[in-house]
Amino acid sequence: MADELIPVEKLTEDAARVELQRLAAEIAHHDALYHGKDQPEISDADYDALKRRNDAIEAQFPTLVRTDSPSQRVGAAPTGVFAQITHARPMLSLDNTFSDEDVQDFVASVYRFLGQMPDNSIAFTAEPKIDGLSMSIRYEGRKLKTAATRGDGTTGENVTANILTIKEIPTELPEDAPDVVEVRGEVYMAKSDFLALNAQMEAEGKQTYVNPRNTAAGSLRQLDAKVTASRKLRFFAYAWGEMSEMPADTQHGMVEVFRRWGFPVNPLTRRLTSVEEILAHYREIGLQRADLDYDIDGVVYKVDRLDLQARLGFRSRSPRWATAHKFPAEQAFTRVEKIDIQVGRTGALTPVARLEPITVGGVVVTNATLHNADYILGIGNSGERIRPEGHDIRVGDTVIVQRAGDVIPQVLDVVLEKRPDDAVAYDFPKTCPVCGSHAVRERNEKTGKLDSVTRCTGGFVCSAQAKEHIKHFVSRNAFDIEGLGTKQVDFFFESEDPALMIRTAPDIFTLKKRQETSLAKLENIEGFGRVSVRKLFDAIDARREIALNRFIFALGIRHVGETTAKLLARSYGSYAHFSEAMQAAAPKFGEAWNELNAIEGIGEVVAASIVEFFKEPRNLEVVSRLLDEVTPQDAEAQAVGDSPVAGKTVVFTGSLERFTRDEAKARAEGLGAKVAGSVSKKTDYVVAGPGAGSKLDKARELGVSVMTEDEWLALIGG
């Protein structure tokens, strides 16, 4: 076949047009054969070659792309996997604030952390929070080199080809720009472009899109950049990653430089000093919100001086020097048609209201969470009444539904006047609707309070828990296995065929082997194509080596989220060491237990939960089968470079004069030290200020080295 083809570069426009028509028909023919489960006429490789040729010709002649081209197929999800890019500096998210008081607290916390700054001496920038997708664009030698999505903050997807289609983004920077520049900002779709696109889709009888943000995300995640090019995406620059040289020393100055370099920057950005001015600007932007041609969901405040930003530093995922002040959520009235119970990974029974579909802030809502049994009754977490008269929520009720950003919609209140006469109070199930085991509300040992969550006691017996665990296991921040979404997990979990079923996480990694020797071929099953099966196996194999923190997070230990998993990985270094230590900690006293509790950020509830996980033989058995298939990579030693305090454990006590306690801790951690709350044999240094008491005594008793704040400063280099 290949012999007869004219090289793409040599095709005339007319020849290209004819060939694209032929390719569209030919590929459609093979698709029909293939999906009709008929005997395919050509091999995978030949099929792929046809698609590649189609793509290559389209790239050469973008104006000839046909509406029936295989590359334009509607609903064709991105078919492949993007290459990964590790961000030179992590891409963080922002803390949220919701009320004026929250904003006052934020500003106060900045002053408190920095200490000794006169009132109104710190300037903040205030700018709209764009509801799009964050992007990091890297320039080397003033040329656009790569563009990556945020991903999990550490690694994102390489979408350079797609970003190159956005005309607003310069591909070259001026002479005076530094050698290495990473400009960060938001890719978004204008409301007007979104409406035009939907009008076109509707005219063509195609499915319309939900909102500009999702459409922008979908457009960007097209492996085929031509599709991206056909959607008008835009960009606002507001942040940066690695910079070989800093062209300004304030947030405001940096954004001004970006503007000079040709990036679009948001015109509503202001530099303000008092909380009153900040809140006034927030209200001003709120008033303009509906008239802007892009969606925004709040206003972002950032400390303007970069030296102060550096001192404030970061918490685990977000900077201390910034916050996002969100706009109030949008609300609407609708009716509760039904209440269902969902069983989660940890057995929590969550009631969900099935609603008469309603549009809230441009998105159709059909479900809303009812949280727990008390919430349905109108009782809050501390026993208080959460609806004005404490009334309950019933099937048939007219309710107020609220949606805020990406959060699951909530039922806020009931319109009692509209309650039907025959509506009855909801009877919360006493058994798990999936496995029939008892459902209980645990009592908190310390407070004696009843837990708000009703939990299925079925554990491994409960198929809902097992299935949810697999969904967690393959999710983005855990194993991140592309091609194993909710639908696929449901399918594999429910399959009875030994060559197809996935009941526990290790089964994922034996699927390919089981498939090789079986007649129940996945590729013959509706919804899986030859290509997608191959991609799925590749995606699974790609995860046979995995970072230790992701591995720990994926285990789904109750209370162990991503941050805790990172702490554990950093503290124990290897899985073997971690698991051994957790088993040794089982009696909940002794050295291993104390060591676990001494990790800053791990409290007793979390520690107990981890230890419980490792006590359960069934968990150990599943992990052991998993380790036959997967190798967790040892965590990098936490020592950062050559700081003399890297890897050391420090305790601060007494009052500090040169820093606030928070800043001292953040600085030490930034240098790779561990900051502990109590003194033990493992403590390397105790930094004692005036008024130090029992911790200082303990340090002397244990022979731990004690120093003054100034000595500490000299040690870490000022």
The residue number with the shortest CB distance to ligand IVH is: 134
Q: What minimum distance in Å lies between the beta carbon of 644 and ligand IVH? A: 29
Region from 86-94, 190-198, 669-677, 701-709 binding ligand IVH, contact rule CB under 6 A: 86-94
Which of 93, 171, 244, 518 forms a contact with ligand IVH (CB under 6 A)?
93
Residue from 11, 223, 239, 608 touching ligand IVH (CB under 6 A): that is: 239
92 binds ligand IVH (CB under 6 A): yes
Nearer to ligand IVH, 90 or 459 (CB): 90
Q: Which of residues 253-312 bind ligand IVH (CB under 6 A)?
A: 300
* Nearest distance, CB of residue 87 and ligand IVH, angstroms: 12
Out of 47, 69, 70, 129, the residue judged to bind ligand IVH by CB under 6 A: 129
Number of residues that bind ligand IVH (CB under 6 A): 15
Q: Is 129 a catalytic residue?
A: yes
Enter the tokens of residue 596. Answer: 């676990």
Q: CA dist 664 to 88, 295, 385, 657, 712, Å?
A: 25, 39, 42, 10, 10
- Active-site annotation holder among 10, 51, 129, 418: 129
- 282 marked among binding-site residues: no
CA atoms within 13 A on the CB side of 112: 9
Segment 321 to 380, residues that bind ligand IVH, using CB under 6 A:
322, 324
Q: Contacts from 109-113 at CB under 8 Å and sequence distance 24+?
A: 109/320, 110/303, 110/308, 110/312, 110/320, 110/321, 112/660, 112/662, 113/311, 113/312, 113/320, 113/660, 113/662, 113/663
Structure tokens at 275: 């909380």
166-225 residues in contact with ligand IVH (CB under 6 A) are 186
Q: Is 94 annotated as a binding residue?
A: yes
Q: Which residues contact 25 (CB under 8 A, 6 or more apart)?
A: none
Site string for ligand IVH, 99-128 (x = CB under 6 A): ----------------------------x-
CB within 8 Å of 662: residues ≥ 6 apart: 112, 113
Return d(Cα 46, Cα 53) in angstroms, integer.
11
Whole-number minimum distance, CB 283 to ligand IVH, in Å? 18
Pairing of strands 674-675, 649-653: parallel
Residue 326 assigned as binding residue: yes
What are the CB-based long-range contacts (under 8 Å, 24+) for 476-479?
476/152, 477/152, 477/550, 477/553, 477/562, 478/550, 478/553, 478/554, 479/543, 479/546, 479/550, 479/554
Based on CB atoms, which residue is closest to ligand IVH, 103 or 502? 103
Least separation in angstroms between residue 162's CB and ligand IVH is: 17
Q: Find the binder of ligand IVH among 11, 27, 65, 94 (CB under 6 A).
A: 94
Long-range contacts of 96-105 (CB under 8 A, 24+ apart): 96/298, 96/323, 96/324, 96/325, 96/326, 97/323, 97/324, 97/325, 97/326, 98/325, 98/326, 98/328, 100/279, 102/323, 102/325, 103/275, 103/278, 103/279, 103/282, 103/301, 103/323, 103/325, 104/275
- The annotation status of 44 as a binding-site residue, yes or no, is yes
Q: Residue 134: what residue type?
A: S
Please tell me whether 48 is known to bind a ligand. yes
252 is a contact residue toward ligand IVH (CB under 6 A): no
Q: Which is nearer to ligand IVH, 297 or 397 (CB)?
A: 297
Among the listed ranges 88-96, 137-145, 650-658, 693-701, the one in contact with ligand IVH (CB under 6 A) is 88-96
- Give which of 406, 364, 357, 66 is closest to 208, Cα–Cα: 364
Stretch in the footprint of ligand IVH (CB under 6 A) among 11-19, 317-325, 412-420, 688-696: 317-325
Q: In the bound complex, what is the minimum distance in angstroms from residue 142's beta carbon to ligand IVH?
A: 24
259 annotated binding-site participant: no
Q: Which residues bind ligand IVH (CB under 6 A)?
A: 92-94, 127, 129-130, 134, 150, 186, 238-239, 300, 319, 322, 324
For the annotated catalytic residues, the residue numbers are 129
Binding residue positions for Zn(2+): 432, 435, 462
Binding residue positions for NAD(+): 44-48, 93-94, 127, 150, 186, 302, 326
